[in-house]
């Protein structure tokens, strides 16, 4: 015991990183959703686990919350879990929005049925795709002068129809702005509600008029064959059928084209051979088809190197699952051998049991049991 303690002290004195205590998870991980206080894991067996701040207390290893889960979204202290049978469950507390009659609740309640998918990322709004492919938004009242009467009764807050024939949605980091693809391959963009902040940096590229309120979807198009789009923090990122990653919008957050240009108005090619992309507030994580994970650094993180430095670099290999907390600045990745890594903001998430507020290096936080 004394010998082990001495080794740790020596490693610390010589500037080496001491790995935080790690957990063991018996389920393989299919997807991850990270908030500023909690990290959620959905296993291939469709079990939902939580790590960090759960039920008004901190837990430092994944705790089983619910089974048969398809997707989870947590925003403004309210968590929504979509089960594979199409039922939507809610727990937590919020004065902003809810489908429950009580303001304060910890128990899980079934609040909606016939749901195909949900989207949200700590923004003010939750987007709900129903089985008939209609898209609805839960949250603040929209900002149209004469809103359409597509509102379901019986909810504590309005559930308002946004668009029909929707296939996928991506929601901007801190606002109610969103982009959606329809079943026939068209793309639409809109911004928030009368009480929700909207992203003017991107919306101003498409709307000619004042962009203080744009809740009516506007069709947009690019001269690219787009298969996936992500509404990042004040920027749009998309992957083409040729696996090329492009970006436009606010260039201060992500340094899309490795310059100090404020707004990128036309799509700029960032990377090739891309499988998927995730973002937090100031970084873009690019997962390539060879399973290598790259991080595109924000220029603020490397101020002494300037714009001529290598602005994205590989941080991991053999990655199967990656997710980043858009509002938290933290990220988690799982490699093919089952090793779970975490880094970034750690004030509440307690990645690997660490009490440190920041994990400044890619750190092993757990292992999937063979």
What pLDDT, on the 0 to 100 scale, is given for residue 336? 95
Which domain covers residue 98, as residue numbers?
Answer: 77-121+123-221
Least confident range of 105-114, 192-201, 215-224, 341-350:
192-201
Collapse the DSSP code of 343 into the 3-class scheme (helix H, G, I; strand E, B; otherwise coil) and give the result: strand
Note whether residue 290 is domain-resident: no
Q: How much is the average pLDDT of 99-113?
A: 71
Note whether residue 293 is domain-resident: no
Note whether residue 212 is domain-resident: yes
Note whether residue 174 is domain-resident: yes
What pLDDT, on the 0 to 100 scale, is given for residue 334? 95
What pLDDT, on the 0 to 100 scale, is given for residue 30? 94
Number of neighbouring beta carbons within 10 Å of residue 1: 5
Note whether residue 90 is domain-resident: yes
Q: How much is the average pLDDT of 122-135?
A: 88
Q: Taking a C-beta distance cutoff of 8 angstroms, is the pair 344, 325 a contact? A: yes
Note whether residue 246 is domain-resident: no
Collapse the DSSP code of 131 into the 3-class scheme (helix H, G, I; strand E, B; otherwise coil) and give the result: coil
Give me the chain's average pLDDT, please.
78
CATH number reported for the structural domain that contains residue 87 in this entry: 2.130.10.30
Q: How much is the average pLDDT of 131-155?
A: 60
What pLDDT, on the 0 to 100 scale, is given for residue 369? 86
What are residue 100's phi and psi, to 5 degrees? -105, 155
**Residue 11: band (very low, low, confident or very high) from pLDDT cuts 50, 70, 90:** very low
Q: How many domains does the chain have?
A: 1
Rounded CA-CA distance 190/169 in Å is 11
pLDDT at 3 over 50: no
Note whether residue 93 is domain-resident: yes
Note whether residue 102 is domain-resident: yes
pLDDT at 203 over 70: yes
For residue 274, which of 240, 229, 322 has the smallest C-alpha distance? Answer: 240
Q: What is the pLDDT of residues 295-310, one digit of tens each?
A: 876 544 444 343 334 4
Of the two residues 201 and 336, the one the predictor is more confident about is 336
Q: How much is the average pLDDT of 165-191?
A: 90
Rounded CA-CA distance 71/43 in Å is 11
């Amino acid at each position: 015991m004394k010998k082990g303690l001495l080794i740790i002290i020596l490693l610390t004195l010589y500037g080496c990183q001491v790995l935080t205590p790690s957990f063991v998870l018996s389920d393989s991980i299919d997807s991850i959703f990270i908030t500023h206080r909690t990290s959620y894991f959905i296993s291939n067996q469709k079990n939902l686990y939580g790590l960090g701040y759960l039920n008004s207390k901190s837990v430092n290893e994944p705790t089983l919350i619910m089974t048969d889960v398809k997707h989870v979204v947590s925003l403004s202290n309210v968590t929504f879990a979509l089960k594979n049978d199409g039922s939507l469950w809610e727990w937590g507390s919020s004065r902003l929005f809810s489908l429950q009659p009580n303001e304060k609740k910890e128990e899980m309640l079934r609040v909606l049925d016939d749901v195909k998918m949900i989207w949200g990322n700590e923004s003010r709004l939750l987007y709900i795709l129903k089985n008939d492919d209609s898209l609805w938004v839960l949250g603040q009242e929209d900002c149209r002068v004469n809103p359409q009467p597509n509102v379901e009764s019986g909810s504590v807050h309005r559930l308002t129809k946004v668009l029909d024939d929707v296939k996928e949605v991506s929601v901007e980091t801190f606002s109610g702005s969103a982009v959606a693809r329809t079943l026939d391959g068209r793309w639409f963009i809109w911004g928030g509600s009368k009480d929700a902040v909207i992203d003017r940096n991107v919306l101003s590229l498409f709307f000619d008029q004042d962009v203080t309120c744009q809740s009516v979807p506007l069709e947009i198009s690019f001269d690219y064959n787009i298969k996936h789009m992500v509404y990042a923090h004040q920027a749009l990122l998309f992957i083409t059928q040729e696996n090329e990653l492009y970006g436009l919008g606010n260039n201060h957050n992500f340094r899309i084209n490795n310059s100090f240009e404020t707004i990128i108005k036309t799509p700029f090619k960032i990377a090739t051979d891309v499988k998927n992309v995730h973002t937090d507030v100031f970084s873009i994580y690019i997962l390539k088809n060879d399973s290598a994970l790259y991080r595109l650094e924000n220029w603020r993180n490397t101020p002494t190197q300037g714009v001529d430095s290598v602005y994205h670099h590989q941080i991991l290999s053999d990655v199967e699952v990656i997710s980043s907390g858009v509002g938290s600045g933290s990220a988690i990745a799982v490699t093919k051998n089952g090793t779970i890594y975490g880094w970034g903001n750690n004030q509440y998430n307690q990645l690997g049991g660490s009490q440190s507020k920041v994990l400044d290096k890619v750190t092993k936080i757990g292992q999937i049991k063979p």
